[in-house]
Amino acid sequence: MKTELLYMKNMEQTECSAKIISIQKNEIGVTVILDQTVFYPQGGGQPYDTGVIKTSDGAVVFRVQQVRYIDDAVHHIGILEQGDISVGMEILCFVDKEKRILHSRLHSAGHVIDMALKELQISWVPGKGYHFPEGSYVEYVADMENISIDTLLSELEQSCNAIISRDIKTTLVFDDTKLQNGKPMRTVFYGDFCIPCGGTHVAYLNQIVSIKIRKIKKEKEAIRISYAVGVL
């Protein structure tokens, strides 16, 4: 069983038609698996999409509360609010657009921080990323010695916003012969900067609006850079 990941090829698409290929009911609710989806399953530090799956006549409404990627399939977990669903049914998917846009902006901002560090000639090794609206951060495995946090914070913020103002286009390159976390391998390019990544991104970096570096802090084995994005 395999779900075609439409959000991988077109990150701005938030609606699609699909066919139900499996339904499971258990203690966490109802899980619906489709032949293709625009719903982003949680991963790579980016939260899952939420939204609704319904039939074109509106007779069936399934509220998607959680989305997970398990064994090559996207699991849409939620509540059946109206009607009854069955395998083989043709349905429509609608992702909560506002939330997706915010997630894409926060996730892309994480890449901009990587780019800005590179421009400042700081070669820290990227670690974990957490791109949730409540307290986004990126971590680096690095040594903070001889670096003033206050100076770095202001230089980094300046560099991030300079990169955004150049309004670089997000370019995607696919390699279907390789897998990354069980998904088709995709590399995201911003000019010369590239990174293998399966998340959703803004189409142009100026859609991030602005980046505020909230804090730079030495954690146990990493340096954590907390950030926020400007209001749309």
| Residue position matching structure tokens 């069980």 | 182
Q: Which stretch binds Zn ion (CB under 5 A): 91-99, 120-128, 156-164, 196-204?
A: 196-204
Can you spell out the DSSP letters for 135-190?
SEEEEEE---TT--HHHHHHHHHHHHHHHHHT-PBPEEEEEEEEEETTEEEEEEEE
Q: Which stretch binds Zn ion (CB under 5 A): 96-104, 166-174, 191-199, 202-210?
A: 191-199
Those residues whose C-beta lies under 8 Å from the C-beta of residue 69, and which sit 6 or more positions away, are: 41, 42, 43, 75, 181, 182, 183
Question: Shortest distance, CB of residue 201 to Zn ion, whole angstroms?
Answer: 6
Q: Which residues pair with 63 in a beta bridge?
A: 52, 79
Is 202 one of the binding residues for Zn ion (CB under 5 A)?
no
Question: Binding Zn ion by CB under 5 A: which of 95, 197, 222, 223?
Answer: 197
Q: Which stretch binds Zn ion (CB under 5 A): 4-12, 130-138, 158-166, 195-203?
A: 195-203
Residues 144-183, one symbol each (x = binds Zn ion by CB under 5 A, - = not), give ----------------------------------------
The residue among 22 and 187 lying less far from Zn ion, judged by its C-beta, is 187
Q: Can you read off the two tokens belonging to residue 26?
A: 């258990």
Q: Which stretch binds Zn ion (CB under 5 A): 15-23, 83-91, 168-176, 194-202?
A: 194-202
The residue among 12 and 155 lying less far from Zn ion, judged by its C-beta, is 12
Contact criterion met (CB below 8 Å) for 38 and 52: no
Contact criterion met (CB below 8 Å) for 215 and 136: no
Is 199 one of the binding residues for Zn ion (CB under 5 A)?
yes
Question: Shortest distance, CB of residue 206 to Zn ion, whole angstroms?
Answer: 17
Q: Can you read off the two tokens belonging to residue 117?
A: 């560090």
Residues that bind Zn ion (CB under 5 A): 197, 199
